[in-house]
Amino acid sequence: MRGKRKSIKSDLKKIDAMKEGDIDYSDIPELDDSFFKKALSDWPPRKKTVTIRLDEDVLGWLKGKGRGYQTRINKLLRRYMEAGR
């Protein structure tokens, strides 16, 4: 059973009240040029509109999981693609 998620709203006032000197950056690695080259790459890849025919029961299963069935299809296909590399 999942526990309740704690709202971050309770922490926002504390964070806003912090001074720059109170923040511990020691566990954050220094960023070099390679980081910024990678950060500027196109991710996520652009989406392309396609028409796909799916079995009715498969589509029902995907839609039955709630909103975002197209995103779920994309994630499933991406995992399959990456597993085959």
Measured distance CA(62)–CA(68) in Å, rounded: 9
Could you count the other beta carbons within 10 Å of the beta carbon of residue 73?
15
Cβ neighbours for 72, distance < 8 A, ≥ 6 positions apart? 62, 65
Domain boundaries in the chain?
45-85
Looking at the whole model, is its pTM more than 0.75? Answer: no
Read off φ and ψ for residue 19, nearest 5 degrees: -95, 155
pLDDT for position 1: 47
* 68, two tokens: 């975002």
The answer to whether 76 and 84 have CB atoms below 8 angstroms apart is no
Q: What pLDDT band is residue 61 in, cutting at 50, 70 and 90?
A: very high
